[in-house]
Structure 1
Amino acid sequence: MVDAGDKLNTSHFQSHLKRANLLFSHSNAAKSQQAPPKKAYFVLLDHFSMSCFSVVLDTLVTLNMVHDQPIYDCQTYSLQDCKALSDISIEIPTNGNIQDIKLEKGAILVICGGFRSMLKSEPRLNALLVKATQYHVTIMGLWNGSFYIADSKIPIGQAISIHQDNKAIMEEHFPDLNLSTSNFTHALTQDSTLLTCSGPNSALDMMLHYIVSAYGSDYSQAVAEVIGSDRNSATSTKITKHFLRSELHIPNAVKDSITLMENNLEDLLSIDELAKLVGISRRQIERLFKVNVGVTPARYYLEHRLTHARQLLQQSNLSVFEVSIACGFISSAHFSRTYHRFFGQSPTETRRLSQAV
């Protein structure tokens, strides 16, 4: 049996699989040097969309998880009474009212509207939005939250998103605005960054776009692996499948090789065998992987096996020895050493931590 990792000496994920493992492969040194998190202020209007709010909140919480330190401290605020009624009639206690918000640079201010949110001028909210631009806060409007953004008269940019049912009132009140009802919008003004979406479906796209622009595509795709992977396939649960479908330029020889690796984790194929099975030379397969995946076939094989091992440790009752065999390692000791190099913890620790959650 060939172990593809015997001659590899680097100890971090280098292929697209790093996105799926960011949450589990941070070093203890990185975690110990934590900066204070930024604030994410959610203003919940009465009858706010619970689905929109949940998507945006879940995205930021997941970003905290996949990053090496928490980035956002998420807090909720209402217009009054320290509570807000959602569109599904669930009352949410909040951290305070909007006058309690202490704006900080680098923060996010999210105005959460909903289907039955009353669209009328809110002077305190207008004042908060104007102040937010002075602090260069990133402003987001969900569903019809953009009505209040427009009403505050802050710079908006070229377009703003609103739910379809609120388009008529927006056109009546703000005839000069360019409205979008099917997607999200992103505008950079002199004073702030403004993102708006028309509903929960575009909310996830908006947030992933925001993470790309603020933190890079690796973190955006890591978050998408956790909360958005079901949009890629209703049946496949294998991360490599998402990669193969999303990267249309990947040559068939590489796709076929990855599928063969995925289907041969216990009894490993040599790189020569892989090349023969896909009908190209070893030199060609090495070159194609480096160009299209960023790593050698051997490296990718190892990273996929370790990813699969991490999933088995977290989601099954297999022993560490059984996991090592299932993932093609020559011994449980070698598996444990390799796993520790990549994840900064032993297989046993991964299992213990997953069961403690």
Structure 2
Amino acid sequence: MLETSSKANTSYFQSHLKRSNLAFTHPTPSKNSSTQPKRANFVLLDHFSMSSFSVALDTLVTLNLVHDNPIYECKTYSVNNNKALSDISIEIATDGNIQDIEISKDSILVICGGFRNSLKPEPLLNKKLAKAAQSNATIIGIWNGSFYIADSKIKTGSTISIHQDNKAIMEERFPELNLSTSTFTEEGTLLTCSGPNSTLDMMLHFIKGSHGTDYSQAVAEVIGSDRSNKKDSKIINRFLLAESHTPDCIKESIQLMENNVEDPLTIDELTKLVGISRRQIERLFKTNVGVTPARYYMEYRLTHARQLIQQSNLSIFEVSVACGFVSSAHFSRTYHRFFGQSPIDSRRTSQAS
């Protein structure tokens, strides 16, 4: 079995695999670890879309999970009575009603609509939307939540998204607006989308703009990884599916690595199998993957080890063998260097969550 030099494995993931592992790394607490989370206020209109709400909420909860510190404190609010009825007739007890919403510059106000919403003015909601606009807070409209945003008379920009069944009333009530029914739109701090299928894209776009590409892609790895329409059974790595420009020799190399975890190939063996020189494979990996092939191989093996530790009953020794380490002591040291905790602590953390 191949054992690479520990000198090559310095402290954290550097390839795209860092996205998959962000939720499981435990860095030294930063000086900002005491920063209070921002408020994410979800207004659940009667007959709101449960699927759209769940997706929007899940993206922020997952962002908290992959980040060093929680970013958002998520709260739900109803129009009244501290409860809201979803489109699938499930009633949710909310954290309060519209009057209880706290608005600040860093907060988010999400208006969650649905197919059977009764589209009528909501004066209290209009006041909260106006305050959010004045505070330059982020305002998000889901499904026909956009109707209430438009009705509040806040500045919406030129384009707003709405569900297709609500386009007629929107054109009648707000003729000055350019309406989109197929995707999401962004106008400054206002984002709107037309339904469940565009909610995830909108929320990932918001996270990318507010917190960076790495966090957006990390969240997508967790809750959006099953959306690819490609069915190439020869390529199981999601990175390869997403990066169509990646040379075939790199795709083949990564596939060989994934198929040879317990008994890793040497880099020289790898180059012979794909038919290119060591110098070429080093250069192409750095250009297309961002790391050397040896580094990527180690990161993949450690990712595989983390999955086995969290999802199986294999002993730490058995995991180390299954991932190509000849020494369980070296495996534990390397694992700790990448994840910030030992394999056994990683298992305890997983079991306690």
Task: Report the TM-score, using the length of structure 2 for normalisation.
Answer: 0.97
Asked if the contact 1:150/1:156 (under 8 Å) is kept, the reply is yes
Kindly tell me: are residues 238 and 8 of structure 1, through their superposed partners in 2, closer, same or farther at Cα, counting changes over 3 Å? farther
**Residue 314 (structure 2) aligned to one of 313, 318, 321:** 318
**Residue 237 of structure 1: how far off its partner (Å):** 11
1:212-291 correspondence runs (5 A): 212-232=208-228, 241-291=237-287
1:128-147 correspondence runs (5 A): 128-147=128-147
**Residue 10 of structure 1: how far off its partner (Å):** 1.0
Q: SS in structure 1 opposite 2:57?
A: helix
Is 1:152 aligned with 2:148?
no
Asked if the contact 1:5/1:299 (under 8 Å) is kept, the reply is no
**Residue 4 of structure 1: how far off its partner (Å):** 2.7
Kindly tell me: are residues 170 and 105 of structure 1, through their superposed partners in 2, closer, same or farther at Cα, counting changes over 3 Å? same
- Structure 2: how far apart are the matches of 1:238 and 1:216? 31
**Residue 206 (structure 2) aligned to one of 203, 210, 221:** 210
**Residue 118 of structure 1: how far off its partner (Å):** 0.7
Which residue number in structure 1 is paired with residue 295 of structure 2?
Answer: 299
- Structure 2: how far apart are the matches of 1:41 and 1:163? 22
**Residue 309 of structure 1: how far off its partner (Å):** 0.2
Which residue number in structure 2 is paired with residue 355 of structure 1?
Answer: 351
Is 1:341 aligned with 2:340?
no
Which residue number in structure 2 is paired with residue 38 of structure 1?
Answer: 38
**Residue 8 of structure 1: how far off its partner (Å):** 1.3
**Residue 30 of structure 1: how far off its partner (Å):** 3.2
- Structure 2: how far apart are the matches of 1:168 and 1:105? 33
**Residue 7 of structure 1: how far off its partner (Å):** 3.3
Asked if the contact 1:309/1:324 (under 8 Å) is kept, the reply is yes
Q: SS in structure 2 opposite 1:89?
A: coil
- Equivalent residue letter for 1:211: I
Structure 2 spans left out of the alignment, 5+ residues: none
Q: Deviations over 1:127-174 (max 9, x none)?
A: 111110111110000110000001111111121111111111111111
- Equivalent residue letter for 2:127: A
- Structure 2: how far apart are the matches of 1:165 and 1:15? 44
- Structure 1: how far apart are the matches of 2:18 and 2:259? 20
- Structure 2: how far apart are the matches of 1:9 and 1:115? 52
Q: Deviations over 1:219-241 (max 9, x none)?
A: 01100111111112698999961
Aligned-pair identity (%): 71
- Structure 2: how far apart are the matches of 1:137 and 1:238? 46
- Structure 1: how far apart are the matches of 2:247 and 2:317? 36
- Structure 1: how far apart are the matches of 2:105 and 2:80? 25
Asked if the contact 2:26/2:341 (under 8 Å) is kept, the reply is no
Is 1:196 aligned with 2:192?
yes
- Structure 2: how far apart are the matches of 1:197 and 1:320? 46
- Equivalent residue letter for 1:58: D
1:91-170 correspondence runs (5 A): 91-170=91-170
Q: SS in structure 1 opposite 2:7?
A: coil
Kindly tell me: are residues 213 and 185 of structure 1, through their superposed partners in 2, closer, same or farther at Cα, counting changes over 3 Å? same
Task: Report the TM-score, using the length of structure 1 for normalisation.
Answer: 0.96
Query: Over aligned residues, Cα RMSD in angstroms?
Result: 1.8
Aligned length: 353
**Residue 291 of structure 1: how far off its partner (Å):** 0.7
| Runs of 4+ residues deviating >3 angstroms | 233-240
- Structure 1: how far apart are the matches of 2:144 and 2:160? 10
Is 1:66 aligned with 2:62?
no
Which residue number in structure 2 is paired with residue 11 of structure 1?
Answer: 11
- Structure 2: how far apart are the matches of 1:312 and 1:4? 21
Asked if the contact 1:19/1:218 (under 8 Å) is kept, the reply is yes
Q: SS in structure 2 opposite 1:352?
A: helix
Which residue number in structure 2 is paired with residue 308 of structure 1?
Answer: 304
Which residue number in structure 2 is paired with residue 50 of structure 1?
Answer: 50
- Equivalent residue letter for 2:103: L
**Residue 100 of structure 1: how far off its partner (Å):** 1.1
- Structure 1: how far apart are the matches of 2:306 and 2:88? 38
Kindly tell me: are residues 234 and 282 of structure 1, through their superposed partners in 2, closer, same or farther at Cα, counting changes over 3 Å? closer
Is 1:78 aligned with 2:82?
no
- Structure 2: how far apart are the matches of 1:320 and 1:127? 57
Kindly tell me: are residues 186 and 58 of structure 1, through their superposed partners in 2, closer, same or farther at Cα, counting changes over 3 Å? same
Q: SS in structure 2 opposite 1:157?
A: coil
- Structure 1: how far apart are the matches of 2:257 and 2:174? 57
Q: SS in structure 1 opposite 2:185?
A: strand
- Structure 2: how far apart are the matches of 1:346 and 1:236? 36
Structure 1 spans left out of the alignment, 5+ residues: none
- Structure 2: how far apart are the matches of 1:195 and 1:239? 35
Kindly tell me: are residues 240 and 234 of structure 1, through their superposed partners in 2, closer, same or farther at Cα, counting changes over 3 Å? closer
Q: SS in structure 2 opposite 1:225?
A: helix
Which residue number in structure 2 is paired with residue 327 of structure 1?
Answer: 323
Asked if the contact 2:160/2:179 (under 8 Å) is kept, the reply is yes
